[in-house]
């Protein structure tokens, strides 16, 4: 019996020796052991082929505007425009030969840049001029589009006849002040002295009578109409 008891005790000690002893508590080690390694940071590459043309280029500037309108013009081939006013509508055809100016006007029209602007300069028997504005909402839209100028394009022999739509040249003095790509004018009569200095990029198809009505409105000494002449909206015609 004594011999059996001694054997049992020895067996118990041997079992305890084989157990794994717990690691001593070490606060720093225990914290480190529980940290999950961070994933390796990688730069995300954007596939430009999945971006829209506007996402790739906007806001426009003098360095990228021409490339943008070259691509935009290939996708957007429309060249018919309608201007809505309280005096009636003016339908325009934009010349395909002045490709950058056509693309610019189509782009601005589709982005509603001209909606709510005014014919702010009216000179009887000369021109009605509009498109620009200092209204906060319109300025906000223009800031998103960018700040750029269009170079003149007078290679194609388009004359400033009655009913031509034209734009100031980007090479004139104070160009950013006077030659905004948001600005345009329509001639009420032949103005051939403008040839070579301004880019004629379209013509009135219908609505010359509306141009005449606007031109006959009363103006102040600075050729600003005494009663605002709003461009209600401008749309692209299919």
80-85/119-123 β-pairing? unpaired
Nearest 10 degrees: Cα torsion 150, 154, 160, 166: -10
* Percent of the chain with pLDDT strictly greater than 90: 64
pLDDT of 152 reads 86
Structure confidence by residue, pLDDT tens digits, 104-119: 999 999 999 999 999 9
pLDDT of 9 reads 38
pLDDT of 179 reads 59
pLDDT of 223 reads 96
- pLDDT bucket at 151, cuts 50 / 70 / 90: confident
pLDDT of 203 reads 98
Nearest to 97, CA basis, from 235, 202, 205? 202
Q: Confirm if 91 and 206 have CB atoms less than 8 A apart.
A: yes
Nearest 10 degrees: Cα torsion 24, 29, 30, 33: -130
Local structure of 88: helix, strand or coil = strand
The pLDDT of residue 36 is above 70: no
* pLDDT-wise least confident of 141-155, 173-187, 215-229: 173-187
pTM of the shown model: 0.78
* pLDDT-wise least confident of 46-50, 86-90, 176-180: 176-180
For the chain, the average pLDDT equals 84
What mean pLDDT is predicted for residues 158-165?
97
- pLDDT bucket at 133, cuts 50 / 70 / 90: confident
- Long-range Cβ contact pairs of 171-177 (< 8 A, separation 24 or more): 172/197, 175/149, 176/147, 176/149
Structure confidence by residue, pLDDT tens digits, 65-90: 999 999 999 999 999 999 999 999 99
């Amino acid at each position: 019996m004594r011999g059996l008891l001694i054997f049992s005790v020895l067996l118990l000690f041997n079992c305890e020796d084989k157990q794994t002893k717990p690691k001593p508590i070490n606060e720093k080690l225990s914290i480190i052991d529980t940290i999950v390694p961070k994933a390796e940071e990688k730069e995300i590459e954007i596939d430009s082929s999945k971006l829209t043309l506007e996402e790739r280029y906007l806001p426009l500037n003098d360095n990228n505007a021409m490339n943008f309108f070259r691509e935009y013009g290939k996708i957007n081939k429309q060249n018919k425009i309608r201007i809505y006013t309280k005096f009636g509508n003016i339908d325009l055809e934009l010349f395909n030969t002045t490709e950058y100016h056509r693309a610019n006007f189509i782009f601005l029209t589709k982005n509603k840049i001209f909606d709510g602007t005014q014919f702010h300069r009216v000179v009887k028997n000369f021109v009605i001029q509009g498109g620009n504005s200092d209204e906060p909402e319109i300025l906000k839209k223009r800031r998103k589009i960018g700040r750029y100028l269009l170079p003149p394009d007078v290679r194609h022999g388009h004359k400033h006849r009655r009913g031509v739509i034209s734009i100031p040249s980007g090479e004139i003095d104070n160009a950013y002040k006077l030659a905004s790509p948001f600005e345009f004018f329509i001639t009420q009569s032949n103005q051939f002295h403008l040839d070579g200095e301004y880019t004629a990029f379209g013509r009135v198809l219908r609505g010359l009578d509306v141009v005449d009505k606007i031109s006959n409105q009363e103006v102040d000494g600075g050729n600003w109409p005494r009663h605002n002449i709003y461009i209600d909206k401008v749309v692209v015609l299919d």
